[in-house]
Amino acid sequence: MNAMKEIVLSQKIERDELLGGRYVPREGLKNARKSLQSNLIKVIIGPRRAGKSVFSIQMLEGVNFAYLNFDDERLASASDYDEILKAIRQVYGESKVILFDEIQNLPNWELFVNRLHRRGFNIIITGSNAYLLSRELSTHLTGRYVQFRIFPFSFLEFLRAKEFAIDEALELKERQGLLLGHLDDYLDKGGYPEIVVKGLDAKNYLATLFESILFKDIVKRYSLRYTKLLSDLAHYLITNHSNEFSYTKLKNILEFKSVHTVENYTKYLTEAFLTFSVDRFSFKLKEQMRSPKKAYGYDTGMIHAIKFKTGRDIGRLMENLVAVELMRRGSEFYYYRSVNGKEVDFVIKRGSKVDKLIQVCYDINQHATRKRELAALAKAGKDFGCSQLTVLTWDDEAEEKYSGERVNLLPLWKWLIGM
């Protein structure tokens, strides 16, 4: 049997197994299904193992589609793309819908996808490298694609997976206690689907995944020579999540040879969905670019699994969770530090205006903490002409007046599930 046909056939078995699974419905599915009616290329990006393939399968429910996964090492040397198409036709017949998984592993994939698109195929592609995809998409497929970002489970999806109902009974303290237990679990283990659904050991699974992303998606792809430096940088940023950093400081602490290398390596970690950074807010672009940034991990479970420190700083984990959720919601957000050192965790912009200000605080009941958090919010609210001021707490709910400004105290779980 032709070798390529054999690969496509064996992957058809993989596709059919995926189709037979029972899955947690993901957010954004409705829009994704609607997009199938357009002739745009559907691009699904996100971290490895976050559920991109399953999202695609859910999106294509009831559609006869061809499937090819380029994470298969047998396809690594594929160079004759007509052979690939021939094998797809042999196995799937006339189907005009094709799902290409982990497309970034196919050299010059964008030319192949472009050609199929021109011939009227309805194409869905997934990938685990934001830069590779966006670079090729903007160069070769300008305006001809629609993009969906998949993250590990949100808290709402996590609760769905645990079959915890969001209903009127949430008014009961007992139900809220159960829900807070789930939130604690979610902070610790994160939202990677296999951990949540199959109950796999989070620490082992995530530490292995972390190493695999570092070496498969970064070291190998960019032929990096200083693998230990990359690993040190990744561990440092994740251990110091929700804290400020500057490239110069990182260069000195980790003994890099140049700031340029630090910048590149940090960019690779972001592209592979391990860490991301948030700019300090300023209306002056130059000032924004010169200021330190804040580092966050894409999943609190992964932070927990690979942190050097043994202590669990729940306040910083909560802040990290909010950063990821804002990213998931597509918000434009920053952090803010005033001239006299008052800090606001999140400044959310809409257009040219500051729309919302958010502080994250585990325990707001200590007088000094309460004063610090509320004073920073009230001052920034006045400075930016913003009246939507919120402190996300573990379990406190109230409305406070501070320095003439109204501040909402809201439990984190209510904000996460959109209540």
CATH number at residue 269: 1.10.10
pLDDT number for residue 310:
61
Q: Does one domain contain both 87 and 161? A: no
Q: Which helix (H) or strand (E) holds 296?
A: strand 293-297
Residue stretches of the chain with pLDDT short of 70: 1, 131-134, 136, 142-143, 308-311
Alpha-carbon gap, residue 244 to 52, rounded angstroms = 31
Instruction: Clarify whether residues 196 and 185 are in a common domain.
Output: yes
**How much is the pTM?**
0.93
Tell me if 345 sits within 8 A of 358, measured CB to CB. Answer: yes
> Beta partners for 66?
98
Alpha-carbon gap, residue 227 to 235, rounded angstroms: 12
- Could you tell me if residue 42 is left (phi over 0), alpha (psi between -120 and 50 degrees) or otherwise beta? beta
Q: 68: how many CB neighbours lie within 10 A of its CB?
A: 24
How many CB atoms sit inside 10 A of residue 202's CB? 20
Q: 253 and 198 in one domain?
A: yes
> Which DSSP category does 76 fall into?
T
Q: What token pair was written down for 379?
A: 């001052």
Residue 170 sits in the same domain as residue 262: yes
pLDDT at site 172: 81
Residues 101 and 193 in one domain: no
Please state the domain count of the chain: 3
Rg of the chain on CA atoms, in Å: 23
